[in-house]
């Protein structure tokens, strides 16, 4: 009994669909979970953020700033980990703006610059004015660029009231009341502690970093080289919860449901993959032949 | 001879930067600043060289019209677009609004989408790794499963207990292993740097 040519043509498409179906279903499930408002899950689902120690540390670092203080945001996040730190970064920028700080954004890595441009564009859409945020652009060459920027952080041709305020204070890193380092894998806040602090010892540094950098950065917090550090999702969430009102709810909310769905799917796949060989081994031969 | 020149350069550069950190002297500061400027120029030259090599690698594919042609078109087209936006007359360079638009509207969303797929690729890698049946893959996946359970975003007493255990795992065993690795890497780098500077070891490098 021969199959028709039409059936033959459909076979590869059906096979591809069978392979893609679980992935598409997972993506649809995650998209649906993302659309559910975070409040709907209630108290049963939440990312635990009971320890506010580090969030309080960030609050204290910001509390020390005077009105219209100059704050440098060193934006060197990377694309691989920025999804984790993005809500905290947005909340911190909103918090600083609400406190009346004047922000200057600079990047020393290419990925950091790309993400900084996207965030600057978002802030402009939200109505940020030129006297609130200045773009100091991209100073390449990573650590060498960082060291090179210590005596002069302002690029040639830069304009604006914030740029003029930095120039009037000498154009160097001493002009800033605080540096907020948005850290990534390529250039972490460790470079700031190693390269900048020996040259500018009185510069207060606060940092937001992805979880994988926490074991490396925690000692700097204990020694006081960092004024504040937020380096895990619960720490970041504790901080975001605390300042949610400052941004009028515009800071990205961290929903527990998409995370729960993703983790349960991952757990299911890992359990199935771990148990499958055991199940196959325990089957009698006749079952193995059939299955 | 070549190695002694490299070692000499590294030693001199390192000494200048170190002395600049230790001693406040305007002449030394000027010299160290010059060295840093040279390093920045070298990094820029390396980046330009890398981009040129990439373009040179893909240009033949574009000309030959093989099955890689569309990859080459996309890559070279993207490079050309960014270069044109940044280098056209009257442009502000890397801060030009056209460059910023290309980055925020195209580059970042596309790259973020690719990174979002890492979740799926990881799950695929778990399945393939376990199907091979190595002990290392099994241990890795079991450890990952335990961490996933600890990170489940649950509320109440159960959630608090999971979060406390996750914090302990991160702060004690994980931190110990990580810092041990860092100390080991630092010692190895110091030893290997000293070997290069002192000219100790085999001559085949």
Residue A290's pLDDT band (cuts 50, 70, 90): very low
Among the partner-chain residues A144, A215, A263, the one whose CB lies closest to the CB of B178 is: A215
CB atoms A140 and B174 under 8 Å: no
ipTM of the prediction greater than 0.90, yes or no: no
- Cβ within 8 Å of A, B 141-200: 141-142, 144-145, 148-149, 151-156, 159-160, 162-163, 167, 170-171, 174-175, 178-179, 182
Across the A:B interface, residue pairs with CB atoms under 8 Å apart total: 144
Query: Does the pLDDT value for residue A181 go beyond 90?
Result: yes
Residue in chain A nearest B164 by alpha carbon: A48
β-partners of residue A75 are A182
CB atoms B160 and A256 under 8 Å: no
Nearest CA distance, B160 vs chain A (angstrom): 6
Spell out where chain A has E strands: 70-75, 102-107, 133-138, 178-182, 205-208, 228-230
Contact B16, B35 (CB under 8 A): yes
Quote the CA–CA distance of B186 and A234 in Å, as a whole number. Answer: 31
Quote the CA–CA distance of B73 and B45 in Å, as a whole number. Answer: 25
Nearest CA distance, B203 vs chain A (angstrom): 30
Residue A291's pLDDT band (cuts 50, 70, 90): very low
Residues in A closer than 8 angstroms to B130, CB to CB, are 273-274, 276-277
CB atoms A273 and B40 under 8 Å: no
Residue A6's pLDDT band (cuts 50, 70, 90): low
Among the partner-chain residues A121, A265, A273, the one whose CB lies closest to the CB of B141 is: A273
Quote the CA–CA distance of A211 and A82 in Å, as a whole number. Answer: 11
- Cβ within 8 Å of A, B 70-109: 92, 94-95, 99-101, 103-104, 107-108
Q: Which residues contact A111 (CB under 8 A, 6 or more apart)?
A: A76, A77, A78, A79, A184, A186
Q: Chain A within 8 Å of B44 (Cβ-Cβ)?
A: yes
Residue A49's pLDDT band (cuts 50, 70, 90): low
- Chain B contact probe: residue of A195, A270, A277 with most B CBs at under 10 A: A270
Residue among B197, B195, B143 at smallest CA distance from B174: B143
Query: Does the pLDDT value for residue A272 go beyond 50?
Result: yes
Query: Does the pLDDT value for residue B63 go beyond 60?
Result: yes
Among the partner-chain residues B39, B100, B122, the one whose CB lies closest to the CB of A144 is: B39
Phi-psi region of A157 (alpha: psi -120 to 50; beta: other; left: phi over 0): left
Decide: helix, strand or coil at residue A25: helix
- Chain B contact probe: residue of A46, A48, A152 with most B CBs at under 10 A: A48
Mean pLDDT, residues A229-249 = 78
CB atoms A277 and B133 under 8 Å: yes
Residues in B closer than 8 angstroms to A277, CB to CB, are 130, 133
Among the partner-chain residues B36, B100, B154, the one whose CB lies closest to the CB of A121 is: B100
Nearest CA distance, B179 vs chain A (angstrom): 7
Mean pLDDT, residues A203-226 = 93
Mean pLDDT, residues A264-279 = 87
Find the range with the poorest average confidence among A31-45, A82-96, A168-182, B39-53: A31-45
Decide: helix, strand or coil at residue A180: strand
Mean pLDDT, residues B129-139 = 87
- Chain A contact probe: residue of B153, B154, B161 with most A CBs at under 10 A: B153
Query: Does the pLDDT value for residue A42 go beyond 80?
Result: no
pLDDT attached to residue A238: 84
pLDDT attached to residue A1: 46
DSSP string spanning A48-102?
-----HHHHHHHHHHHTPPTT-EEEEEE---TTTHHHHHHHHHHHHHHHHHTTPE
β-partners of residue A208 are A182, A230
Among the partner-chain residues A45, A80, A157, the one whose CB lies closest to the CB of B154 is: A45
pLDDT attached to residue B164: 87
Among the partner-chain residues A215, A259, A274, the one whose CB lies closest to the CB of B138 is: A274
Nearest CA distance, A262 vs chain B (angstrom): 9
Query: Does the pLDDT value for residue B196 go beyond 60?
Result: yes
What is the pTM (predicted TM-score) of this model? 0.83
């Amino acid at each position: 009994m021969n199959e028709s040519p039409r059936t033959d043509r459909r076979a590869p498409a059906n096979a591809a669909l069978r392979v893609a179906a679980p992935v598409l279903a997972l993506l649809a499930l995650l998209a649906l979970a993302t659309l559910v408002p975070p409040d709907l899950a209630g108290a049963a689902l939440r990312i635990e953020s009971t320890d506010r120690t580090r969030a309080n540390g960030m609050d204290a670092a910001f509390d020390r700033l005077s009105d219209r203080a100059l704050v440098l945001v060193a934006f060197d996040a990377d694309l691989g980990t920025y999804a984790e730190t993005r809500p905290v970064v947005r909340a911190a920028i909103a918090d600083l703006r609400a406190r009346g700080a004047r922000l200057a954004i600079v990047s020393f890595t290419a990925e950091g610059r790309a993400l900084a441009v996207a965030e600057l564009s978002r802030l402009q859409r939200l109505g940020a004015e030129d006297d609130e945020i200045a773009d100091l652009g991209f100073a390449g060459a990573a650590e060498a660029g960082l060291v090179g920027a210590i005596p002069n952080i302002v690029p040639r041709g830069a304009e604006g009231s914030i740029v003029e305020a930095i120039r009037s204070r000498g154009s160097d890193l001493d002009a800033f009341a605080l540096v907020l380092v948005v850290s990534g894998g390529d250039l972490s806040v460790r470079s700031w502690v190693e390269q900048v602090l020996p040259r500018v010892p009185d510069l207060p540094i606060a940092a937001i970093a992805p979880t994988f950098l926490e074991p490396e950065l925690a000692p700097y917090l204990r020694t006081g080289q960092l004024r504040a550090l937020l380096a895990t999702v619960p720490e970041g969430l504790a901080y975001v919860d605390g300042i949610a009102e400052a941004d009028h709810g515009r800071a990205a909310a961290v929903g527990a449901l998409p995370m729960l769905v993703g983790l349960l799917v991952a757990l299911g796949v890992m359990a199935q993959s771990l148990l499958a060989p055991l199940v196959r081994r325990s089957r009698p031969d006749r079952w193995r032949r059939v299955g | 001879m070549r190695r002694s020149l490299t070692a000499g350069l590294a030693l001199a550069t390192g000494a200048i930067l170190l002395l600049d950190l230790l001693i406040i002297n305007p002449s030394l500061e000027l010299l160290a600043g010059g060295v840093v400027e040279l390093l920045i120029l070298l990094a820029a030259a390396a980046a330009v060289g890398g981009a040129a090599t990439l373009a040179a690698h893909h240009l033949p594919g574009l000309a030959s019209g093989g099955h890689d042609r569309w990859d080459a078109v996309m890559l070279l087209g993207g490079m050309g677009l960014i270069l044109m936006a940044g280098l056209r007359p009257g442009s502000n360079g890397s801060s030009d609004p056209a460059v910023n638009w290309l980055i925020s509207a195209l580059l970042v969303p596309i790259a973020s989408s690719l990174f979002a797929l890492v979740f799926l690729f990881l799950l695929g890698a778990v399945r393939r790794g376990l199907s091979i049946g190595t002990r290392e893959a099994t241990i890795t996946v079991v450890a990952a499963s335990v961490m996933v359970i600890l990170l489940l975003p649950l509320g109440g007493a159960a959630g608090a207990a999971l979060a406390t255990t996750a914090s302990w795992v991160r702060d004690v065993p994980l931190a110990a292993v990580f810092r041990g690795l860092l100390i080991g890497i630092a010692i190895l780098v110091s030893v290997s740097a000293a070997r290069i500077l002192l000219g100790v070891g085999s001559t085949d490098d």
